[in-house]
Structure formats: C-alpha cells, structure tokens
C-alpha cells in the first residue's frame, strides 16, 4: 500500500515537472514579439519620413523616435547632418543625436564641424554634440556658445546634468574620443582669422571645458 502511494506521488511530481519545463509560448512572450515587430516598423517609418519627407506632418515625431533605433538611427541622423540647413531643425537634430552613440554618426559630426562650406550654426551644433559625446553629463547648450559683442577672454562653462542614457548603435565607438575631439576644437579655435567668429568661439569654449574634464577624468 505504502509503495503504491509513494509511486503515485512520484508520478504526480514528475508530471508537474514535465509540464512546468515543457517550452510553450507564454502570453508575455507573444506580447514581447508584437512589441518588437511594432518597434521595427516604427523605426522603418521614422527613417522613411526623415529620408523622403513623407508623410510630412510626422517629421517631428520621426526625428525624436529615430534615436531609439540602433541600426537605422545613426545612419539616418548622419544623413541629416550632411544636409541640414534650416535653423529651426538644428535643436531637434542636436537633441536626437545626443541620445545615441555610434562611430558613423561621430565621423559625420566631425566632417560637419570641419566643413567651412556649411552654415556656421550647423557647425557649432555639431561641435556641441561632439563635446557632449565625450561626457553625456556635460550640460553645455547652444546658448552657452553665442559669442559676446566683445571677446576679451574665453569663459569656462561648467554646466552639469544627469545626461541622456545613450543608446549604443550598431557601430559602437570602441576607443576614447576625448583627446581627438579636443584636437579638433583647438585646431578650429586657433584659426580666428579664417573661421567665422561663431565657430571659433564655440570651439574655444568647448575646448576650455574639455581640457578640464580630461584632466579630472570625466571625459573619455
């Protein structure tokens, strides 16, 4: 009697273990798959809107959303930095670019910052994003880079913030960039006779801050 009871109990335990361990689609897993599919579709839509301009009413949404997309985001943002000229698009592009860290976007930002054929305000914006990529807690903003009427000295801007939680793109920056970015800033700042005042002043202010952050181990 005891042996039959023990055998029956063991059989029930084994059945419970098998049922528990057997892989079956859970409701949560199905929900995650649906969310992932929607996310991919939204990334494709955001990329399409920013690339083609259609549908136009959703451009603001697309520019904010594309920074969530590790594949399409960096490529799309880099393309916008190549072409942007409208002043009212600069701040939204800066905000979106600060959310993602990727080698392709970084290289385009450098090219934009160095290109003397580009508008000065676009170059200044690219310099700002480069500076804040060395330390996302750096809270310097475009308004901090406007030169005064008379430039007697270069101020040290010490704005700090919590910084965005940057998404790593498909082509991550694997090496520190602070020293290279500082070289870029110093090179532009040194050319006061040939660079627009807005550009060399912004580069000088950002270089002043970046030198300090490198010494203190904040920038990488």
pLDDT digits (tens, 9 = 90+) for 190-217: 999 999 999 999 999 999 999 999 999 9
Contact assessment for residue 186 and residue 207, using Cβ atoms and an 8 Å cutoff: yes
What pTM did the predictor assign?
0.83
Can you tell me the mean pLDDT for 180-196?
Answer: 98
Pairwise pLDDT comparison (160 vs 151), residue with the higher score? 151
Report yes or no: 49 and 55 within 8 Å, Cβ to Cβ.
yes
Which band of pLDDT confidence, cut at 50, 70 and 90, is reported for residue 31? low
Q: How far apart are CA 68 and CA 73, in angstroms?
A: 7
The CB density around residue 191, as the number of other CB atoms within 10 Å, is 13
What is the overall mean pLDDT for the chain? 86
In the chain, the percentage of residues whose pLDDT exceeds 90 is: 71
Measured CA distances, 23 to 1, 12, 29, 36 (Å):
35, 19, 11, 21
pLDDT value of position 208: 97
Average pLDDT over residues 175-184: 97
Residue 13 has pLDDT above 80, yes or no: no
Nearest CA among 53, 60, 58, 76 for reference residue 169: 76
């Amino acid at each position: 009697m005891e042996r039959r009871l023990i055998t029956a109990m063991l059989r029930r335990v084994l059945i419970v273990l098998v049922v528990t361990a057997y892989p079956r689609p859970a409701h949560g897993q199905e929900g995650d798959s649906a969310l992932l599919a929607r996310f991919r579709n939204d990334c494709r839509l955001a990329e399409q809107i920013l690339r083609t301009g259609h549908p136009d009413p959703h451009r603001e949404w697309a520019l904010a959303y594309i920074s969530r997309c590790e594949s399409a985001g960096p490529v799309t943002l880099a393309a916008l930095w190549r072409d942007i000229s409208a002043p009212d698009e600069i701040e939204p592009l800066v905000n979106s670019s600060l959310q993602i860290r990727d080698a392709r976007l970084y290289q385009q930002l450098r090219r934009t910052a160095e290109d003397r054929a580009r508008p000065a305000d676009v170059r200044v914006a690219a310099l700002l994003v480069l500076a804040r990529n060395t330390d996302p807690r750096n809270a310097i903003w475009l308004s901090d880079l406007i030169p005064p009427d008379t430039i007697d000295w270069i101020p040290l801007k010490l704005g700090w913030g919590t910084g965005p939680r940057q998404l790593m793109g498909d082509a991550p920056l694997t090496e520190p960039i602070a020293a290279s970015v500082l070289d870029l800033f110093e090179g532009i700042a040194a050319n006061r006779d040939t660079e627009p005042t807005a550009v060399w002043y912004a580069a000088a202010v950002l270089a002043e801050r970046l030198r300090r952050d490198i010494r203190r181990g904040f920038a990488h």
